[in-house]
Amino acid sequence: MPMMITNEPSPECWQQGQLIEVMITDLSDSGDGVGRLGNRVVFVPDTVTGDKALVRLIRVKPNYANGKLHQLLVESPNRVHPRCIVADKCGGCQWQHVSWDYQQLAKQNQVIQALKRIGGFSEPAVAPILTTDSSLGYRNKATYPLKRSATGSVQAGYYQKGSHQLINLNQCPVQDQRLNPLLAEIKQDIQQLGWSIYNESRHQGRLRHLSLQIGKRTGEMLLTLVTTDLNLKDLDVQGQTWLNRYPQLVGVCVNHNP
């Protein structure tokens, strides 16, 4: 497709595939950057307020468009370098490129705008967002879809953005770091046990997801296996093995999800 760049774009003439320059002036409720040109709005993932970007239009509607970041022309002071090596692909996070302080301001503003737009308040008083001290290690629960690779290895992780393509992970910088060793080791155990992994396209298999949760203050952990049926070989024995191996693990649960 030939590259089309419009320096002074006319929003009424936008076309799918066109490249436009846009200034990001806000963040949407879903986390996309928002730019406005004329009477149209363009939503651009992976951008932040203050970015000036070259954006490829991927969907054009009468009053708005969806775009994909093609090139950053000017980086916003609200932008940071993600700490995760798969942040640009992973659907588990939308704002790793947004500074922690600005994330809190953006969330506070989302509450204010919702109260104005939906609640009818003129100037709602909204206190600052209560948050943790760090943008890393704050999630105390993670649910990982499972997949068996073409070579037969068990994979667990998050889906890529906008798809069900799995990104195989052994650790995640956003979740509580005490959970990471369990993820890698439990994947190996499932591999050795030979448990059947659910295949979405074929609608076959037993084990769909595994979920890990930790009490922030107590350090106690809970492992949940999401299965299509309860016929996992040696489940009782393996559950006790995990409880013996990890003193901080206080329970192994099965969530039956046919």
Cβ neighbour number for residue 117 with a 10 Å cutoff = 9
In a domain, 43, yes or no: yes
Average pLDDT over residues 20-29: 94
Q: What is the per-residue pLDDT for 10?
A: 65
Q: Which CATH number do you get for residue 209? A: 2.40.50.1070
Structure tokens at 147: 């997949």
* Contact predicate 21/54, CB 8 Å: yes
Shared-domain flag, residues 50 and 149 = no
Q: What is the per-residue pLDDT for 131?
A: 86
Q: Which residue has the tokens 């104005």?
A: 116
Cα 233–chain centre separation: 32
Q: Where are the beta strands (DSSP E) in 111-235?
A: 141-148, 154-159, 166-168, 207-214, 221-227
In a domain, 224, yes or no: yes
Domain end marker among 74, 108, 128: 74
In a domain, 104, yes or no: no
* Contact predicate 100/135, CB 8 Å: yes
Higher pLDDT, 73 or 162: 73
Q: What is the per-residue pLDDT for 30?
A: 86
105 phi and psi, to 5 degrees? -65, -40
In a domain, 228, yes or no: yes
Higher pLDDT, 242 or 31: 242
pLDDT in tens, 157-166: 999 988 999 9
Helix (H) or strand (E) holding 243: helix 235-245
pLDDT in tens, 96-134: 999 999 999 999 999 999 999 999 999 899 999 888 888
pLDDT in tens, 37-70: 888 899 999 999 999 999 999 999 988 999 999 9
Q: What is the per-residue pLDDT for 37?
A: 87
With a cut of 80, say whether residue 12 has pLDDT above it.
no
Residue partners of 241: CB distance under 8 A and separation at least 6: 189
The two beta strands, 141-148 and 154-159, are antiparallel
Q: What is the per-residue pLDDT for 223?
A: 98
Cβ neighbour number for residue 72 with a 10 Å cutoff = 14
Domain end marker among 16, 42, 74: 74
* Contact predicate 221/250, CB 8 Å: yes
Shared-domain flag, residues 148 and 69 = no
Cβ neighbour number for residue 107 with a 10 Å cutoff = 17
| Confidence band, pLDDT 50/70/90 cuts, at residue 1 | very low
Shared-domain flag, residues 162 and 66 = no
Q: For the chain, what percent of residues have pLDDT higher than 70?
A: 95
With a cut of 60, say whether residue 196 has pLDDT above it.
yes
Q: What is the per-residue pLDDT for 161?
A: 87
**Structural domain harbouring 58:** 5-74
Helix (H, G, I), strand (E, B) or coil at 182: helix
Shared-domain flag, residues 156 and 232 = yes
With a cut of 50, say whether residue 2 has pLDDT above it.
no
Helix (H) or strand (E) holding 59: strand 52-60
Q: Which CATH number do you get for residue 12? A: 2.40.50.140
Domain end marker among 41, 74, 107: 74
Q: For the chain, what percent of residues have pLDDT higher than 90?
A: 74
Number of structural domains found in the chain: 2
